[in-house]
Amino acid sequence: MTDSPVPPVEPRSVSELVTIELRRAIVSGELAPGETFSQRKIASDLNVSFIPVREALRALEHEGLVIIRPGRGACVAPLYLEDLQGIYRLRRNLEPDLAAHSCTLISDAELDRLQAQVEDFGDERHTIQTVYDSHHEFHVALIAPAATVWDMRVLNSLWRAAERYIRIGFSKLDPDPQDKPRRRHAHESLLDAFRRRDPAAVADAVLVHLTSNEQTALRALADGQYLATRSES
């Protein structure tokens, strides 16, 4: 029997597991923007050696989530106003056009499946933290029929860059009893446009959705000491 051309999957390294845990804490806001921390304390908290923590921080620095200051430890990267605006400017240039094409390709069965997800978005038990992964999958599914591999690579990069702004900003709105119905209504509006199979209406709906999310995140983050500008750094 010949050897398989696909090697067996190796278990995740300790540094990868540390990276995953630190990324989760940062994007959820558990480790706040600008917060400093000791690499040795993280190693102690996670019961690992110093080396995988150092490797994890280097990976997170490459993602723009951490700033390493030689001799002074590390801190969580601030949330920059210019970055949030830049992320959404790029998304507005890409997503409406892809969605307009996708609405002519996506199946009724898939739209029905996504409708069930939208109904779950309005569940009072959910916060943005508990619903985010499902929310991300919803938007991927809407665009996927029209997206190339490179479209998805670029969009996944932008979605990951936006994740911390959305999770932290919208989590501040979760105590508002009107936010969950608003979340459900916003996504139902997208689905309604897709069901009409009208590319222009879909492009407009996605543009409105993106602009609304950006403005909502800006308002939520502006209420606290969250958003910095690069000129202040």
User: CATH: 3.40.50.170, 1.10.10.60, 1.10.10.10, 3.40.50.720. Which one for 14-77?
Assistant: 1.10.10.10
User: Which stretch of DSSP H or E encloses residue 115?
Assistant: helix 108-121
Q: Return the pLDDT at 6.
A: 54
Decide if pLDDT at 107 tops 70. Answer: yes
| Radius of gyration (C-alpha) of the chain in whole angstroms | 20
3-state secondary structure of 227: strand
The predicted pLDDT at position 73 comes to 78
Output the CA–CA distances (angstroms, integers) from residue 188 to 115, 122, 166, in the order listed. Answer: 7, 11, 19
pLDDT at 211 over 50: yes
**One-letter-per-residue 3-state SS of 46-113:** HCCCHHHHHHHHHHHHHCCCEEEECCCEEEECCEEHHHHHHHHHHHHHHHHHHHHHHCCCCCHHHHHH
Domain ranges of the chain: 14-77, 80-232
Tokens of 41: 């304390």
Average pLDDT over all residues of the chain: 86
Q: What is the mean pLDDT of residues 36-65?
A: 88
Indicate if the pLDDT at residue 99 is higher than 90: yes
Average confidence (pLDDT) over 182-195: 90
pTM of the model: 0.81
pLDDT of residue 9: 43
Q: Which residue has the tokens 């009208």?
A: 198
Question: Could you give the percent of the chain with pLDDT greater than 90?
Answer: 44
pLDDT, position 176:
65
- Taking the C-alpha atoms of residue 196 and residue 104, their distance in angstroms, rounded to an integer, is 9
pLDDT at position 1 over 50: no
**pLDDT for res 108:** 96
CATH superfamily of this structure's domain 80-232? GntR ligand-binding domain-like (1.20.120.530)
Q: Which of 231, 219, 218 is nearest to 88 (CA)?
A: 218
Position 29 scores a pLDDT of: 87
- pLDDT band with cut points at 50, 70 and 90 for residue 113: very high
Residues 117-166 pLDDT 10s: 888 776 777 667 777 888 889 999 999 999 999 999 999 999 988 989 98
Closest CA to 166 of 204, 229, 216, 211: 216
